[in-house]
């Protein structure tokens, strides 16, 4: 035990940032969170009051690449064009290791019900390293999601319709492919074809 009692003081302190094996987390204000998500800021954004959330911050040293550690959690969100304004208007996708989850997201004040995913996929041979939605074609009935994998494959799928799925680069099996290259390929495919 520390002679100055410093370790005991820190137990009751509320952290604004912390590091885990999955990555570096930092408490974000609502405006910071909206800015990262590409949403408008200020009074025209239609958001009243202040708020905060915890976001994953990626950067050098944010994740450990040792085999025993989990990769960082990746999150993608899309705002839908609802037919009825009272409908849920956002979807969120995130992956933890080899599992990919897709949920309805209502708002920052109400947590996502993790017991009711719209879609859940578990990949056996490779793991998702990045994903993104086509925000221009997203509707309540169809959402185009493209996923990049650690071995270089890229998958296009629709987690709502579930019958739409295409795998690109299937024969490519590079184990030393850099994650940035996969993310780049996902971005190019999304802009070019979807």
CB distance 30 to 51 below 8 Å: yes
Give the pLDDT score at 137: 82
Q: Is 162 left (phi over 0), alpha (psi -120 to 50) or beta?
A: left
Give the pLDDT score at 142: 83
DSSP 161: T
HEC profile of the chain: CCCCCHHHHHHCCCCCEEEECCEEEEEEEHHHHHHHHCCCCCHHHCCCCCCEEEEEECCCCCCCCCCCCCCCCEEEEEECECCCCCCCCEEEEEEECCEEEEEEECECCECCCCCCCCEEEECCCCCEEEEEECCCCCECCCCCEEEEECCCCEEEECCCCCCCEEEECCCCCCCCCCHHHHHHHHHHHHHHHC
Give the pLDDT score at 71: 59
Give the pLDDT score at 85: 65
Give the pLDDT score at 65: 46
**Per-residue pLDDT for the chain (194 aa), expressed as one digit of tens each?**
445 555 555 566 666 777 776 666 777 665 565 555 444 444 333 333 333 334 444 433 334 445 555 557 778 878 777 666 666 578 888 888 888 888 887 767 677 778 888 889 888 888 888 888 888 888 877 888 888 888 778 888 888 888 777 887 776 555 445 556 666 666 666 566 55
Give the pLDDT score at 129: 84
């Amino acid at each position: 035990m520390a002679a100055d009692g410093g370790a005991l003081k820190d137990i009751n302190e509320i952290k604004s940032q912390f590091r885990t094996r999955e990555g570096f987390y930092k408490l974000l204000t609502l405006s910071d969170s909206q800015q990262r998500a590409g949403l408008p800021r200020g009074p025209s954004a239609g958001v009243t009051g202040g708020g905060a959330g915890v976001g994953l911050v990626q950067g050098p040293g944010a994740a450990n690449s040792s085999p025993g550690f989990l990769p960082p959690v990746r999150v993608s969100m899309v705002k839908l064009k609802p037919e009825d304004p009272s409908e849920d208007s956002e979807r969120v996708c995130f992956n933890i290791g080899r599992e990919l989850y897709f949920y309805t997201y209502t708002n920052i004040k109400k947590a996502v019900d993790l017991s009711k995913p719209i879609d859940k996929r578990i990949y056996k041979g490779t793991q998702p390293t990045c994903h993104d939605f086509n925000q221009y074609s997203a509707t309540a009935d169809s959402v185009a999601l493209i996923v990049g994998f650690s071995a270089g494959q890229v998958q296009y799928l629709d987690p709502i319709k579930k019958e739409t799925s295409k795998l690109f680069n299937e024969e490519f099996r590079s184990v030393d492919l850099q994650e940035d290259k996969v993310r780049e390929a996902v971005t190019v495919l999304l802009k070019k074809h979807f």
